[in-house]
Chains A and B, each alone.
Chain A
Amino acid sequence: MASDNFLRARVSGRARPLRGDDVDTDRIIPARYMKGISFEGLGENVFRDARFDEAGKPREHSFNDKRFDGASVLIVNRNFGCGSSREHAPQALARAGVAALVGESFAEIFAGNCVSLGLPAAVVSAADARDLQDMVEADPTLSLELDIEKRELRAGGRTFPLTMPESHRKALVTGLWDSTAELLPGAAAARALEAGLPYLSWARAVP
């Protein structure tokens, strides 16, 4: 599985600022757009209600701002992705062109879901997140380089330290983020452990 296609050691590209703390998964993808049996088409509805009013008229929003068309790095603030466990949220972002997120902090399930998709969610300080947002706002053509391996982000002649859970970093740089592939070799050991679990001895089928 760890072919070059899976390596996420570096991501570079232009960035889009998305300001605000506690941006929840209902805002990223409203539940009514999750009706479906695949993740297809989610990208079009990313931040749907924040981007359009109820009559369908566009509002002022980062994802409506032409200056950031083609940007692949999303710069956010504190506790981004809080709320639901819906993987539809990072799926919608990825399908809308996001290849990496940078922010002050990420909700845990959201960050884990990002890794499952090979999408880095890198943490910088609160001040650095705001500086980066200001920098790309001032110059939307600015290119950012995330070096997950070295834990740093380079942009506009500055270098910003990055952090993320070490297991996430390792999974991304070694291409092990496909967790099913990582877990399958442990199947026999899981079976052995299962055999000794007390509550399975009193589990029963109920009609």
Chain B
Amino acid sequence: MSANLFDKVWNLHKVGVLPSGRDQLYISLHLVHEVTSPQAFAMLGERGLPVASPGRSFATCDHIVPTDDQTRPFGDPQAEAMMAALEANVAASGIKFFGLDSGRQGIVHVIGPELGLTQPGMTIACGDSHTATHGAFGAIAFGIGTSQVRDLLATQTLAMDRPRVRRITAHGKLGKGVGAKDLILFILSRLGVEGGLGYAYEYAGSAVRSLGMEERMTLCNMSIEGGARAGYVSPDDTTFEYLRGRPYAPAAGDWDRALAFWRSIASADDASFDDEVVLDGSSIEPMVTWGINPGQGVGISQSMPRLAELPSERREGALAAYAHMGFVEGDRIAGKKVDVAFIGSCTNGRIGDLRAAAAVAKGRKVAKGLRALVVPGSMQVEAQARKEGLDEIFREAGFEFRHAGCSMCLAMNPDKLVGRQLCASSSNRNFIGRQGSASGRTLLMSPAMVAAAAVSGEVADARSL
């Protein structure tokens, strides 16, 4: 038995043990955005502390940026104030900032990998729960609160309890038209939204190995939805090839040394884990959520569960979900009429996601009366999509093709649901009110499935179009 990646990377970054018993953990990369950092910079200022390692922090703006008219000042004075605070804070502390004029702005979890900042063997933190995305590269990455952003700015370290590590092995091969989003929604439907409390997840097995980097990011991204603060995939040649040539990736002269290090921190075949879960990837079909947490999902051909079929501890939650969604137990999820289709977010706003959606949209039309949005995850994704003509395919079909940002995933910007609208969404959370309307309703699914819903006007199996 040998150490798993998590233990190797943790030990490499452990500074010592703190008086509270927590470990002091050095953080390789701190990603900063406008929502969770202004209070942290203010607290630092109140204590008269400087930013310890400005070179290890990188900032961008994503949550509040409008995805249509980005002229400054923004129409929303609160958004403008947050943007101005971020600009002032990074300028004063010497932190590199990818703003709207950089050509590299985007959702923080899209640009880190895209720029090659995210690398295997690192510890990565950001004031955002979807930081686990970066685990796709074999990094330990987790979301932190604002007081911890303060800790990180002040010391480049965090006070952390080491979690246990659970390996989730997906054997077999995912079917055609089934991808990482379906795999993670399936895992969440099995292990529940609290099943990962106290754990970091290592995703393994042939169904995971065969995923490209963008899909691995989708998989790791939603670890927090299962209660696991971190999720990762041990790095391999797919990882290394993705990194080669990216702006912050090791230069040619450093490449071999980097490769040797990256290989050294991978989990070996005989690595040990605190817990193991095994599932069959080939049995999974496209998944759709029917409820108000991401664990409430079913395959597209299945019916929504009857309360009596559910384990007793899940019944109350299902009851609340049906009440909010206006669905009836035992009904099919396929055929539910959709009002809005949203393609984007840190989960599914990358070029591969846009390509998959465009393949469905091509030559078809968005259903009458339905609003459909495509929001690239970054300026670079947007530029690539334009280069490939995807923007034209989407516009031809009747989608809005917008600028990079978090958009309707969490509605801290003008993109919001209205009233009880039902939204087919490639994002990560179907919580009540998440998409900006207290009575709005969200169905989580893959980008191809969202596109299928958009052109069908109802939840539909993208594979049969």
Contacts and interface: CB of A to CB of B under 8 A. Distances in A.
B36 A86 contact: yes
Contacts of A83: 129, 224, 429, 431
Interface residues of A, number: 67
Contacts of B53: 194
B18 interface: yes
Nearest to B79: A35
Interface in B24-42: 24, 26, 28, 35-36, 38-39, 42
A184 interface: yes
Interface string A7-41: 00000000000001110101100111011111100
A199 B261 contact: yes
A62 interface: no
Given A24-B431, A87-B36, A197-B28, 17 more contacts: A20-B316, A22-B293, A37-B38, A84-B129, A85-B143, A87-B127, A107-B197, A108-B198, A113-B145, A113-B146, A116-B147, A180-B147, A182-B159, A187-B157, A199-B119, A199-B258, A206-B248
A31 B411 contact: yes
Contact of B156 (A79, A84, A190): A190
A36 B78 contact: yes
23 contacts: A30-B433, A31-B412, A37-B82, A49-B433, A79-B193, A82-B194, A84-B143, A105-B194, A109-B224, A116-B148, A167-B21, A177-B20, A179-B158, A180-B43, A180-B49, A182-B19, A183-B159, A190-B26, A190-B155, A193-B15, A198-B261, A199-B122, A202-B257
Contact of B15 (A38, A54, A109, A190): A190
A58 interface: no
Contact of A179 (B15, B76, B159, B161): B159
A11 to B, nearest CB: 19
B410 interface: yes
B268 interface: no
A27 B431 contact: yes
Contact of A198 (B257, B411, B412, B432): B257
A102 B204 CA distance: 36
Name the interface size band of chain B: 35 or more
Interface in A82-108: 82-88, 90, 105, 107-108
B191 interface: no
Looking at A54, A88, A170, A202, the one whose CB has the most chain B CB atoms below 10 A away is: A202
B279 to A, nearest CB: 22
A171 interface: yes
B72 interface: no
A112 interface: yes
Contacts of B161: 165, 167
B24 A183 contact: yes
Given A176-B20, A199-B261, A184 B147 contact: no
Contacts of B64: 35
Interface string A168-197: 101100101101101110110110011001
A138 interface: no
A135 interface: no
Contact of B155 (A35, A38, A187): A187
A166 interface: yes
B150 A35 contact: no
B51 interface: no
B317 interface: yes
A84 B163 CA distance: 19
B121 interface: yes
A88 B63 CA distance: 15
Looking at B145, B258, B419, B431, the one whose CB has the most chain A CB atoms below 10 A away is: B145
Nearest to A189: B15
Contact of A184 (B63, B155, B224, B293): B155
Interface string B324-367: 00000000000000000000000000000000000000000000
Nearest to A79: B194
B420 to A, nearest CB: 10
B22 interface: yes
Contacts of A117: 147
Interface stretch (B206-214, B382-390, B434-442, B455-463): B434-442
Contact of B143 (A79, A109, A179): A109
Interchain residue pairs A-B with the least CB separation, the first 8: A116-B147, A113-B145, A85-B143, A202-B254, A49-B438, A87-B145, A79-B194, A37-B38
A5 interface: no
Contact of A186 (B79, B115, B119, B155): B155
